[in-house]
Structure 1
Amino acid sequence: MSGAVEAFHFLRPWWLLALPAVALLWWWLRPRRAGAAEALADSIAPHLAAALRTGAGRRRRIHPLDLVMVTGLLLGLAAAGPTWSRLPDPLVADTAPLVVALKVTDSMLADDLAPSRLDRARFKILDLIEARAGARTALVAYAGSAHRVAPLTEDPNILRPLLEGLKPQVMPQAGDNPAAAVDLAAEILGDEAGAVLLVLDDVDPSAVPALEDPPVPVLILLAAPDGTGLPQLSGLPVIPLAHDGRDITRIERQLRAAQAAALRDDDRLQWNDRAWWLAWPVALLTLLWFRRGWTMRWRMALLAGLLAPLLGPGQARADGLADWFWTPDQQGQRAETSRDFARAATLYADPYRKAYAMTRAGQYEEAIDILDKLDTPDAAFLQGLAEIRFRRYRPAVRSFETALERRPGWAEAERNLEVAKAIVEYVETTQEQSDTGEDRGIGADDTVFDNETQKGAETQVEQPSEGEAGMPTAEQWMQSIDTDMGDFLKSRFRFDLSESGS
């Protein structure tokens, strides 16, 4: 909350100059009954004036003009554009990226939380990943040392077998070093506005000083019996593990707050205009004008009618009821927040955000047509993503190269360019092998077709379905892999430790 107060400002502050004018007009037009009563007493006999002043004690304190002028003040504030947060980057997931750092020690095997603290932590992490559908989550395991288990991914199926393989026996060093897990999480997040969730049952007092000023926002999910706290970590948000989803709700709320705080310093993002919030008190005030006896002279009504359009935002339209309160981009953002991307694409006026909504709605070809007319690095980057999903891999390579030309050194574009090139190489190599028969063992007497002259050309190849010759089923492929994930993690963690020189 303190960060939002510090970031509060007005996008169009010159509209604030209208507020003193409205206040002065209010003071000039407001009725003054006391002066009228004194003038009446000077004009007629005192006993007659007293009779005419019957009911003066029940003087009306609020006049219709007061509502008009308060409405004018609110409209002036709305036209000034109050804001305290930025619009989220459409290329970033709906929630902040999260690195889950799980403590894997002997203490986590205690069964005071059935079946054990470690098992309950695993279940809760899986619930959290499913609740964060569409957001990226990475996994880190730590004891005396911290190790990367899985990179940032949106697929919970990748994390599930890795979580099951985490046991104290696979950790190469005993101990309790959450600071190392936080440092590794900060390395995984890089420049992204994310956070780290420490899932633990206790903290070694010697590790507390290293957690007092973490490089990234830190949350703690306490996998311990009810009543157990961590008073030594009073400066960090500690969320006790719950039987229902209350802990997940609190974690998501903290993540949104952490992401909003990080986005305030990103000058590439637009500020979120909150003018529409003031539409609700204005609507409530106008309802009071229908109260019996609340009338206004026609000249005041005419003045209010002329004043309201001048103080209202200039971008408003009257195509429908929603257009009275929200701009097209604000309506599109509301639809996007509700994950109704198809409707958001029809509402957005900004071409870049419209193309992003089309991409999320699966309208890749339409999005590519819009993005191809834009000349920003973000547009080229999004066009590359849309072309990959539309299975146009070579154009995707060109789009990512264009993004790097417009913004040299862009790490995300460089990574996606490597991925797109790898996909092109894989597809062309697969097509060559399919045409020459190398992958099927075609003999010399069989007829084959050479595709060397058309390497790189866009062709359509019908992919064999699972179970056909040369294509193992998913079950067969899984059975061919060593299913003991613990042994794999143990050897991998030992290798990481030897590489770090610890």
Structure 2
Amino acid sequence: MMAHLPSNFHFLRPLWLLALPPAGLLAAALWRRHGQASGWRQAIDELLLPHLLESTQNSRQGWPFILLLLAWLLACLALAGPVWEKLPQPVQRKEDALIIIQDLSLSMYAQDLSPNRLTRAQHKLLDILQARREGATALVVYAGEAHTVCPLTNDSKTIAALVPALSPAIMPSFGSNVQEAMALALQLLTNAGLSRGRILLITDEVTPAAIAEITKLLADKTVSLAVLGVGTEAGGPIPKNDGGFLQDDQGVIVVPRLDPAVLRELAAATGGRYHDISLGDDDITCLLGGEAGLPGAGGLQPVERQFDQWQEQGHWLVLLILPMAALAWRRGWLLGLVLILGLWSGESQAMSWQDLWLTRDQQGARVMAQGEPGKAAALFTAPPWQGAAQYRAGKYAEAAAAFAHAPSAEARYNEGNALAKAGKLPEAIKAYEQALQLDPKLEDARFNKELVEKLLHKQQQQSQEKQQQDQQQGQEQNQASRGQQGQDAQQQQGRDNQAAEQPPQDQGKETAKQEPGPGDQQDRRQSGQPDARPAPKETEQKTAEADEQKMSAEERQALEQWLRQVPDDPGGLLRRKFEYESRNNQRQQQRRPATKIW
């Protein structure tokens, strides 16, 4: 029977099937009670009953219980929600594209805002992303050059994860090229196929020349510009790592100041709004609330996507119950009304009988979400999922073996991480090399490969140094042993000479002292005196075990240090990405040198 069912057949609410066994027990009990309820069977002989009683009456009285059982069965199946096909669910999303431009020039380090302008801007940026419920969002940063942190996406959490890594330190060049950032933002809108959108500029300074160029860029565009000013009119110096402050060419301390009038001029020239950064949400409401003056913004755009929307088929079973419900108005059939009242379709719940309704990978994904990667690894059949579960469970060797069965570059990269965690550094380097052969642009694999190579080189140096120390200690021990043997020989020779000079009657006593009996060693141990005889094999074995433990501890410590060097650091990835883009841009076009670096 299961072979004829669709492959995707399952129940949305399978717990309703638990009501089937009680139905069978209830039907059996009612049938038995009905058979015992006839008083004629107790008073008349069974041979005379067929001639005295009408058989049609007995059969007619048995039908209600059969129909009750059948209705109960159909009702339970309908309430369980049988499904086997998915339907494309048309949805509509809000057509509201917002591109945020973040200033990462050195002036953002100024401390006129506590703790500094950069930190306040990051907090405000996170608040904006958290408030974005619908619409696509992108993030562009600029200093001497402009770079895309994230293109237009509906997943604002991805952008929020990158915000803490944003700082002037990741930018390839210093300066404040806001014009290039604005052109890059418009290019993102064009690439996404959008004709209108909103741009939010978070900055502390815009020059009059930049205002003229930005106005030309936005002249024929259906784009609204909002400007958020960061800083104070009093300004503040830019601290350096050595404890001093940034100075210009004349040796004067640079104090960047916020000029709200210039920023308001920029917003007014482009038909946008301006607001100073604040501790509350009034600045976000002013700049982004009410569509921020963008005509036609916030419209709905149809999107065709196929979700996990299953089409229930249980309502067809209700049609089979309707004739039984019609008969419930007859005398003795009112019990069928209980079944009709229970037929309602509640909210679908993700509950199932594991092996019957879900694949092994789906079961493993649910167990993984519950925080049990060890159990999930036993359920997964796909090698990437199985390797990820083993990795989270701390079984790095098993994870590497699982990743080895997947042919992708990401699988080789994950295999290298698992091998590095397991302490197999040469094998990890080979896995990283294979990943780079499949995908030369996989920067994380190249970065981890360099770290593992440095760690392996460091371990090899430590091993060589340890071998040299062991050799030196062995030579010193040999020399000390030889010196001790020479002293013992001299002492023995002196005792022999002394014994030769003593009278014969004392020689036997001296010999007895020099040749102890079998019980002397036990007496020494009982008295607490050490045994003077050396045990070279036992000493060497203990030394080797101690060295082995020490080596393993050193290797573990080195591995922990390497693991601390391989964090989930989006800042390093962004820095390498921006440097790569900067090199390509320098080959393609000549840039104007920045007049100032802050």
TM-score by shorter chain over 0.5:
no
Of structures 1 and 2, the larger Rg is shown by 2
* TM-score normalized by the length of structure 1: 0.39
